[in-house]
Amino acid sequence: MSKQSTDADVAFIKALAEILNSNDLTELSVKRDYAEDDSLDVRVVKQANVIHMAAPAAMSAPMQMAPTGTAAPVQSEDPAQLPGALTSPMVGTAYLAAERGATPFVTVGARVAEGDTVLIIEAMKTMNHIPAPRAGTVKRIMFEDGSPVEFGAPLMIIE
């Protein structure tokens, strides 16, 4: 390719980026044919800035009037917000045992010590042992063995 066609391609890509911005688009793909065996495939993508913010450390539960007329705390609908919730530190596939047919690391009602392996998350062909964040009893397991999990998804409750 000549220097002139390279400069024209750069100008073309800049024009596509301007179209992307001026029309509030997030992605634009174009194929530009020059000759039978010469073409330019361009994909311009605008990614939004993602800001991760930590939740406030301690907030009081909202209050609701009980039938007796006294105030009672409202139960959180989000299991990840429950005390003792173990949330997924990564995206992957969660397993309760080291291999199929093996004894699970934990079951509901099992006592665990801080640091005990309670499950494995496979991510990018790597088996990541997930430790218990505190000593206690497994009250709930909120995923199915071998199911995909998202970052921050509640996996179990240990109280």
Q: Give the CATH number of the domain where residue 96 resides.
A: 2.40.50.100
Least confident interval from 6-10, 70-74, 115-119, 126-130: 70-74
Confidence of residue 46 (pLDDT cuts 50, 70, 90): low
Q: pLDDT at position 78, please?
A: 65
Asked whether the CA dihedral 139, 142, 147, 151 is positive or negative, the reply is negative
Confidence of residue 24 (pLDDT cuts 50, 70, 90): confident
The reply to whether 105 and 35 lie within a common domain is no
Q: How many structural domains is the chain composed of?
A: 2
Residue ranges making up the domain that contains 127: 79-158
CA dihedral 122, 123, 128, 132 (to 10 degrees): -80
Which of 3-12, 38-47, 70-79, 135-144 has maximum average pLDDT?
135-144
Which of 39-48, 58-67, 95-104 has maximum average pLDDT?
95-104
The reply to whether 35 and 83 lie within a common domain is no
130 lies in a domain? yes
What is the secondary structure of 34-54 as a DSSP string?
EETTEEEEEEEE-PPPP---P
Collapsing DSSP to helix, strand or coil, 5 comes out as: helix
The reply to whether 147 and 103 lie within a common domain is yes
- For residues 11 and 19, is the Cβ–Cβ distance under 8 A? no
Mean pLDDT in residue range 73-101: 79
108 lies in a domain? yes
Least confident interval from 65-69, 121-125, 150-154: 65-69
The reply to whether 38 and 97 lie within a common domain is no
- For residues 65 and 72, is the Cβ–Cβ distance under 8 A? yes
Q: pLDDT at position 15, please?
A: 82
- For residues 128 and 92, is the Cβ–Cβ distance under 8 A? yes
Residue 128 has which token pair? 């990541």
38 lies in a domain? yes
Q: pLDDT at position 77, please?
A: 59
Strand (E) or helix (H) holding 129: strand 126-131
The reply to whether 87 and 154 lie within a common domain is yes
The reply to whether 93 and 38 lie within a common domain is no
pLDDT at 112 over 90: yes
56 lies in a domain? no
pLDDT at 151 over 80: yes
Mean pLDDT (the chain) is 77
Collapsing DSSP to helix, strand or coil, 74 comes out as: coil
